[in-house]
Amino acid sequence: MIRYEIKPENSNDPYICMDENTAETIGIVNNERISISYGKRRIESVVYVNKLRDRNTIQVSDCIIQKLLMDTKVKYEISFKNSELIIGPLIGILLGKSEQKLTENLDRYLTYTLAYKQINGVLFVFSEDQIDFANDQITGYVYDHESPDHWRRVKLPFPGAIFRRIELSNKTLQDLTSKMDRRFFNSHYFDKWEFWNLFSQNEELRVYLPETTKQINRDSLDAFLEKYNGVYLKPKSGSRGKGIHFIEKKDQYYQMIKNYDDEVRCMSETEMTKFLSNHSYYLLQQPIRLHAFEDRMVDYRVILQKNETGYWHCTGMIARFGKTNAISSNFKANGFAKEGIEALKMQFGYDELKAFQKYQEIIRVCCKLAYQIERDVGAYADFGIDIGIDEQEKIWIIEVNKRPDHDFPLMIKDRKMYYNVKANPILYAKHVAMSSLS
């Protein structure tokens, strides 16, 4: 892909000048009036076509550069369609609550620039407090491979795409969603109850979801116990297996074990009623009888992402083998992890073909879910979907992580997968940023 250098021209008249070969290639004629888009800003301009000494140069009048807040130290790609010239891409990654915190971690954020040679244009990181809605601009740090520190602090317009990786205040979230619409990825978070409420009504997905209720009382508990001979008590927004309890009933007493705790508590009906009243923000959930491996619970993290194609695909699948006799499969607590197909062969004794077929079945379920989430909730660039397989080899959707841990592949020492996990959402952001604002 050709990259173009922007050369400022001292003029208050809005015009650009490009080489005749460039103009012919993209379909622009001399004196044509067009719109120029740079991130979310747009300006009307006239195009002059000449034979330039440097074909890969676009001369742009100062008034346009100032109006669009154009960074002229960067080389760009261009796209022309329906009288709109897009100069870009401009991609923003929202990585901090404060600029101070952001600057402390700039070196860490270099991993998001791994695919920069495929991206070109402006790739910048920014924090919530650097967003200026009043002046329609963002102050951020542009990746600059020629700079000794790799980053330059600049003022930019709202970009063509924003990839969110942090929690935001409700006000900022609403304003960004309004401003960016579906160019703002991972904008909506939902907890376990909201997830169940949204997708249990979908007949195609319902069969993969464990029954869930937010009615935390003895009647609900007893109903689940009678139906399933056990129940999980889970935090609505918990992660990594924290705070999960497994409850059974023996005669007139309840037996409960907390994850990562070997002690079994025995509780009377009165004690259980009191305990539940102190956990009203939890959920009751149908227990999935996962197929264990050597007394270890096993689940699969499916890394589902979009890339430059704009479609969902599986970047990788990692199985987590939990602590022996634990009630969840969080491998960070004395467990281990393996690549998906190898894990399926180990867990079920599958041959290569059978493992691949099960792998593909899991991906189909996850893609079906991802498309449904996008339709009903909002735009996303990646998910970490946790899948369990029960003793009858049925697939269950355990959880959808909206801000998944991108370091997961390092647990199995797969650096290629790790690089792809970091790069794919940014490549997808380029795909969106170079699409028309119309």
381 and 340 share a domain? Answer: yes
Say if 411 falls within a structural domain. Answer: no
328 and 399 share a domain? Answer: yes
pLDDT of residue 262: 67
Say if 415 falls within a structural domain. Answer: no
Say if 192 falls within a structural domain. Answer: no
Q: What is the pLDDT of residues 406-427, one digit of tens each?
A: 999 999 999 999 999 999 999 9
Cα separation, 383 vs 401, whole angstroms? 6
Nearest by Cα to 97 from 68, 138, 123, 130: 130
CATH number, domain containing residue 312: 3.30.470.20
84 and 97 share a domain? Answer: no
pLDDT of residue 324: 64
Cα separation, 284 vs 353, whole angstroms? 37
Nearest by Cα to 344 from 370, 376, 318: 318
Say if 379 falls within a structural domain. Answer: yes
Question: What is the token pair recorded at 395?
Answer: 């697939």
342-380 burial: b if 16+ Cβ within 10 Å, else e: ebbbbbeebeeeebeebbeebbebbbebbeebeeebbbb
Cα separation, 39 vs 89, whole angstroms? 7
Say if 417 falls within a structural domain. Answer: no
User: Using an 8 Å Cβ cutoff, are 85 and 34 in contact?
Assistant: yes
The CA-CA-CA angle for residues 330, 334, 335, to 5°, reads: 55
297 and 383 share a domain? Answer: yes
Residue 19 binned pLDDT confidence (cut-offs 50, 70, 90): very high
Say if strands 137-143 and 122-127 run parallel, antiparallel, or are unpaired. antiparallel
Q: How does DSSP assign 36-89, residue by residue?
A: EEETTEEEEEEEEEE--SSTTEEEEEHHHHHHHT--TTSEEEEEEETTEEEEE-
60 φ, ψ (degrees, to nearest 5): -130, 130
pLDDT of residue 139: 98
Question: What is the token pair recorded at 27?
Answer: 């379909």
CATH number, domain containing residue 72: 2.40.40.20
Question: What is the token pair recorded at 207?
Answer: 């069969």
256 and 280 share a domain? Answer: yes
Helix (H) or strand (E) segment spanning residue 346: helix 340-348
Q: Is 323 exposed, middle or buried (0-12, 13-18, 19+ CB in 10 A)?
A: buried
Q: What Å distances lie between residue 22 and 5, 59, 65, 70, 420, CA to CA?
A: 13, 12, 20, 20, 33
Per-residue DSSP letter, 290: B
Q: What is the pLDDT of residues 137-192, one digit of tens each?
A: 999 999 998 888 899 999 999 999 999 999 999 999 999 999 999 999 998 888 89
31 and 52 share a domain? Answer: yes
233 and 272 share a domain? Answer: yes
Q: What is the pLDDT of residues 313-371, one digit of tens each?
A: 999 999 999 876 555 555 455 689 999 999 999 999 999 999 999 999 999 999 999 99
Say if 416 falls within a structural domain. Answer: no
Helix (H) or strand (E) segment spanning residue 15: strand 15-19
Q: Is the pLDDT of residue 200 over 90?
A: yes
Nearest by Cα to 316 from 351, 359, 346, 348: 359
Q: Is 133 exposed, middle or buried (0-12, 13-18, 19+ CB in 10 A)?
A: middle
Residue for token digits 């998910």?
383
Q: What is the pLDDT of residues 72-101, one digit of tens each?
A: 999 999 999 999 999 999 999 999 999 999
Cα separation, 435 vs 187, whole angstroms? 19
The residue range of the domain holding 307 is 290-404
Question: What is the token pair recorded at 316?
Answer: 């990788």
CATH number, domain containing residue 245: 3.30.1490
Domain C-terminal end among 68, 88, 108? 88
Say if 435 falls within a structural domain. Answer: no
157 and 127 share a domain? Answer: yes
Cα separation, 384 vs 405, whole angstroms? 8
